């Protein structure tokens, strides 16, 4: 990923995005489903509310949507992984 295509305030998430922001839905879901509940919990807990606000602000910017860089796509997939991980955790606990 090219750091210059990512807002500076999100650079601290780059390694997590590389790990979880898998572009292929099937591979991403498989990684999540094969992860332990503990690993998913650590992943989900790593993101702060401020991180989520900043990511969503960036991804909802029309100019960024039009550019649709690889980094933009990776962060979009990262959010999908985050949401699905929360759902998997919930289903395993209940």
DSSP at 6: S
Token pair belonging to 60: 């909802």
Residue 65 maps to a domain: yes
Residue 70 maps to a domain: yes
Residue 8 maps to a domain: no
What pLDDT digit, counting tens, does each position of 7-38 carry?
A: 999 999 999 999 999 999 999 999 999 999 99
Residue 32 maps to a domain: yes
pTM above 0.85, yes or no: yes
Dist CA 56 CA 41 (whole Å): 21
Domain that holds residue 38: 13-93
Number of domains in the chain: 1
DSSP at 60: T
Residue 29 maps to a domain: yes
Q: How far is CA 53 from CA 1, 11, 23, 81, 92, in A?
A: 21, 14, 21, 16, 27
What pLDDT digit, counting tens, does each position of 44-93 carry?
A: 999 999 999 999 999 998 887 788 899 999 999 999 999 999 999 999 99
């Amino acid at each position: 990923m090219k750091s210059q295509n990512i807002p500076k305030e999100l650079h601290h998430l780059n390694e997590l995005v590389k790990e979880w922001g898998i572009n292929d839905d099937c591979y991403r879901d498989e990684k999540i489903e094969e992860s332990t509940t503990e690993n998913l919990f650590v992943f989900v807990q790593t993101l702060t509310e401020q991180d989520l606000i900043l990511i969503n602000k960036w991804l909802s910017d029309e100019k960024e949507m039009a550019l649709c860089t690889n980094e933009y796509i990776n962060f979009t997939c990262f959010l999908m992984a985050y949401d699905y991980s929360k759902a998997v955790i919930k289903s395993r606990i209940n």
